[in-house]
Chains A and B, each alone.
Chain A
Amino acid sequence: MRVPWGETRLVQGNEAIALGALASGVNFFAGYPITPSTEVAEMLARSLPQGDGAFIQMEDEIASVSAVMGASLAGARAMTATSGPGFSLMQEGIGFGCMAEIPFVLVDVMRAGPSTGLPTQVAQGDVMQARWGTHGDHPAIVLCPASVRECFDLTVRAFNLSETFRTPVILLSDEVVGHMRERVTFPKCEEVAVIERPVPETPTEWYEHYHPTPSNVSPMATYGSGYRFHVTGLTHDRQGFPTRRRDEVDEKLARLKAKITRRLDELVEIRTHDVEKSSVVIFAYGSVYRSALAAQVQLAKKNKRVGVFRPVTLWPFPDMETKELLDDKDVVIVPELNQGQLIHEIERLTSDSVRVIPVQRVDGYELTPEEIVSAAMEVM
C-alpha cells in the first residue's frame, strides 16, 4: 500500500489516517485491536514491513503506548491507535510522554462510553479525557478531524507537531469520521511538509536532553546516536536526572507549560462560516460539525442566518478566538455527542449576555442537522 499522491480515491477515515501516517514517514506502530480504530493497525500491519518499518501488536494498550515511546527514543517516528477503553489504559503513558518529552502520535477514534459502552457507536466522550486524563498537570495537543481528507492532513500535522514540540499529540477522531468513506483528492507529495525531529549538534559531553531554548524545546538525541542520556518520569533537571531542587522543578514544569502556551499561533486552528455576520452561531467539532454545516444550509433556506464555529485544534482550546468571535453573539448552540464537555469552555469564555444552548445526544447515534435546526428555530 502506498500513498496515492495526487490521485482521487474513495477512502475510509481510518484508512486516511494510516495513509497520512505513511505520508509523514511513520516507521513504527504498536497497538492492540479495538473497534472502531482497528483499520489503522490493519493497514499499517500490511504496509509498514514493505518499507522496513516496524509493526507490532502488543499484549495490551499499556504495552502499546510504552513500546511506542521506547521506539521514539530509539529514533523512530512512532504512533498507536485506540478507542475509549484503550485510551483510558494509555493515560499513564501519555503522562510519561509529556513529562519525558517523547514525541509520538496517538489516535483515539471515540466510541460511546462510559466503560465498554456501545461498541461501537459514535460519541465525543473523550474530549475532556484527552485534555485532563493523566494524573498531574501539563498541557496537551489534541486535533479533531471532521472529514476523510482531514484524517489524512491532521495525521501529517500531528506528526509534525509532535516532533516540533517534543510531546505526544492526540488525534481525536470519532466512529463516524473513522468509518465514513469519502472521495478524497490526495495532495501531491511535494505539497506535504514533513518536519523531522531537531537533533543536537553539541559535543556529546555538553549535551543536555532538556536544554532550555528560546522555543522551550531542545533538540533531541536518540539512543544509539552516541549521546548517552537518562530518561525518567521523575521530575528531572536539564540533563534528565531526577531532582527535587525547587528551582529545577519549577523550571521544568514551567517550560513544559510554556512550550505549548507561548506558541498558540502555531497550534490553534479554527474554521468559521459566516460567524461575524450572524447573531446565532453553532459551535461544533468532529462529525457533529458536518451536521452543523448541513443545519446552516437548511436554516438559510428558511431565511435564518446562523454561523458555524469549529475548533480543529481542541486543545489548547481557542480561547482568544472564542472570546473575539462569540462574545458579542446572542446565542451559541453547542451540539455535542456527550453530556456537555466543550460547552463549558464556551460558558467560561463568553459573557452572561450570551445564551449558550446545549444539544446533546449520548445514545450512540449521530446528531442530525434537523436536531440542530429545531434547537436554532426555538431561539430565532
Chain B
Amino acid sequence: MPAQLPYEYKYLRAKKKFPHVWCPGCGIGIVMGSIIRAVDALGWNKNDIVLVSGIGCTSRMPVYFDFNTLHTMHGRALAFATGVKLANPGLKVIAVMGDGDALAIGGNHIIHSARRNIEITSIIVNNYNYGMTGGQHSPTTPIDMITATSPYGMIEPGFDTCRLLDAAGAVFVARGTVYHVIELDGLIRQAMEKKGLSVVEVMSPCPTNYGRANRLGGAVEMMKGLRDGSVNAAQAAKLSPEELKGRIVRGVLADREAPEYTELYADLCRRAREKASEVDE
C-alpha cells in the first residue's frame, strides 16, 4: 500500500469491507468514485450523510461507504429514505438503486417520490438487466436484446428513465455514463446540491451478463460503446430524431424549481400549531 492513501479512502470502510462483490468490468465502482468526489467537493460531513439502497448489485454499494448506511428491501430504498429525511430533514439523504430496483419493483415509490419532491439524491445505475440474479431482463432492456428471461429477444419496450421521472415531477434529471467520469462527477454534485428530488441515471456496463448474452464484447468494448453510442444534450439538440435513434443522451435533461416536501411540511406544522392555539383560546 502507498504511504499516502488517496483521499477517497477517507470515505470508505477501506479496512473492513474490501474486496467488493462486483465483477471485473462492472461500472458500479466508478459511480462510487463519483459519489465520493461529489461529497468531497461539497464538503459534506460524513455524519450527516445517509446512503440508502434497495437490493441488487448497485444496492450493495452502501456497505463500502463510511457514512450512515442502509441496505433495505428490494425496491424500497426511496420509501426508507423518505422516512429518514422526514424524521430528520437535516440529514443529506442519497439513494442508490439499479434499474430493476428503481423502476420495476420500486417503480411506484420512485414516481411518488418525484411527485412529492422530497430532497433525496437518487442515483440509478442502469445496466439494462438484473445482474445479481444472473442477467434477466429489466424495465430498461432495449427491444430485441437477449437476456436470461428474454432468450428470443426482448419484446417489451423499455422505460426512458429520465423522461419518466421528468414527467413525474423530479426537479433535477440528468444522465451520465461511467465512461464520461468527469461529467458524471459534476452531474452527481449538481444533483446533490439541488433542493428537492433529483435523479441521475448512470449508464453502466454489465459485461458478465448483458454483455455476454448479446456478444457486446468485454468491459473495454462496452466502455467504448458508451463513448461512441452517446451524445451530450447540446449535441443532441442539433440532431434529427432519426440520427438520435439508439443513442444515449447525456447531461442535464431537466432542472426546475419547486417547493421541497420537508420545507412544505415544516410550514404545515407552523399552520397546524397556530390553528391549535386558536382553538385553545
Assess whether B84 is in contact with A92, with CB atoms less than 8 Å apart.
no
With most chain A CB atoms within 10 A of its CB, the pick from B73, B76, B80 is B80
Distance A78 CA – B91 CA, assembled complex (angstroms)? 18
Stretch from A54-62, A115-123, A275-283, A288-296 that touches the partner: A54-62
**Chain A, interface SS category:** mixed
Assess whether A231 is in contact with B90, with CB atoms less than 8 Å apart.
no
Q: Does A198 contact B (CB under 8 A)?
A: no
Stretch from B42-50, B134-142, B146-154, B206-214 that touches the partner: B42-50
Q: Does B71 contact A (CB under 8 A)?
A: yes
Q: Does B9 contact A (CB under 8 A)?
A: no
Contact of A73 among B48, B70, B108, B112 (CB under 8 A): B70
Residues of B close to A59: CB separation below 8 A: 108-109, 112
Q: Does B1 contact A (CB under 8 A)?
A: no
Distance A74 CA – B276 CA, assembled complex (angstroms)? 27
Interface size class on chain A is: 35 or more
A25 to chain B, nearest CB (A): 14
Residues of B close to A74: CB separation below 8 A: 50, 83-84, 87-88, 91
Given contacts A66-B72, A73-B84, A74-B87, whether A224 and B48 have CB atoms under 8 Å apart is yes
Residues of A close to B16: CB separation below 8 A: 239, 241
Given contacts A54-B87, A60-B108, A70-B79, whether A229 and B276 have CB atoms under 8 Å apart is no
For chain B residues 128-165, which have a beta carbon within 8 Å of chain A? none
Q: Does B62 contact A (CB under 8 A)?
A: yes
Q: Does B86 contact A (CB under 8 A)?
A: yes
Q: Does A67 contact B (CB under 8 A)?
A: yes
Residues of A close to B269: CB separation below 8 A: 49-50, 52
Assess whether A224 is in contact with B47, with CB atoms less than 8 Å apart.
yes
Per-residue CB contact flags for chain B residues 18-54 toward chain A (1 = under 8 Å, else 0) read: 0000000000000000000000000000111010100
Residue of B nearest to A230 (CB): B69
Distance A92 CA – B79 CA, assembled complex (angstroms)? 14
Assess whether B83 is in contact with A28, with CB atoms less than 8 Å apart.
yes
Residues of B close to A92: CB separation below 8 A: 73
Assess whether A62 is in contact with B79, with CB atoms less than 8 Å apart.
yes
Per-residue CB contact flags for chain A residues 237-260 toward chain B (1 = under 8 Å, else 0) read: 001011000000000000000000
Distance A226 CA – B91 CA, assembled complex (angstroms)? 12
B18 to chain A, nearest CB (A): 12
Distance A281 CA – B69 CA, assembled complex (angstroms)? 52
Beyond A50-B272, A228-B46, A228-B47, 14 extra complex contacts between A and B, CB < 8 Å: A28-B87, A54-B86, A58-B112, A67-B79, A70-B79, A70-B81, A70-B85, A225-B47, A228-B66, A230-B63, A231-B71, A232-B71, A233-B71, A241-B63
Q: 7 A-B pairs, CB-CB below 8 angstroms? A: A62-B79, A66-B80, A70-B52, A70-B84, A71-B87, A92-B73, A224-B50
